[in-house]
Structure 1
Amino acid sequence: MKPHLTLWECSLTRLRAARLVIDSGIHTKGWTRQQSIDYMLNNTGWAKVDIENDINRYISWPAQANAYMLGMLEIRRLRDFAEQELADNFDLSDFHDRVLENGSMTLPMTEKAILSWVANKQSEARMR
């Protein structure tokens, strides 16, 4: 992996972690908007205007950061499963298509769709 991509991924990971702290801080600890902004400024490398936009979203949308993270982790788990099960037959673009093809779905529905896709791909591979 290219070093600048690794650095970027680390930056995004820090941002996601800070968003979880902010979301929880605002809605369970009573953090003010300014406390939240200060936390983000001190713990991410992001611009103040972007941080303020994030904070405004988390103030008005409780648990959004948590829901995003849970979704990301579940899709990552499903991807890891599909990669392991399909090995050389795994295609990332095809996986993305399967995740997105039905639009907005619950995580259990997404899991069912991916498990079905994996089973179909395995069946097709056995028939060759």
Structure 2
Amino acid sequence: MCMKYESYLKVLKESLYWFRNLSSSTINNFVEIDAENLAKIVTGLDDSLLLFQEIKQLTPAITQCHNISKVDNMFMLKNCCKFYARACLLDQFILTLPITMSSNERSFSKLKLIKNYLRSTMPRTNN
């Protein structure tokens, strides 16, 4: 079981490597090989060259965004999905990637809520 998990993590790490140049600080480093590999990973990306061109056209706007939610807002507000379908698909894919830290924090938060509930509903006994 442990080997399967380790191989899964290795594949995940190798796949996520190609997303490294999509942040606002590194978007200028995005190259065609990144687009080719992203097209292999993301279902529905049919043409890596068109993806590369779309990202290059959106680079000035993406550099103005400081986090992924602002990039997503840019896609929605400017109606970019009509004109940059591949970049929009990539944005949607990124937004659906699981983030383990937040799920762990959520688990601890739920555990705390359960403990508080149990403490408040337990009858108090005086010895």
What TM-score results when the alignment is normalised by the length of structure 2?
0.40
Q: Normalized per residue, which structure has more helix? A: 1
What TM-score results when the alignment is normalised by the length of structure 1?
0.40
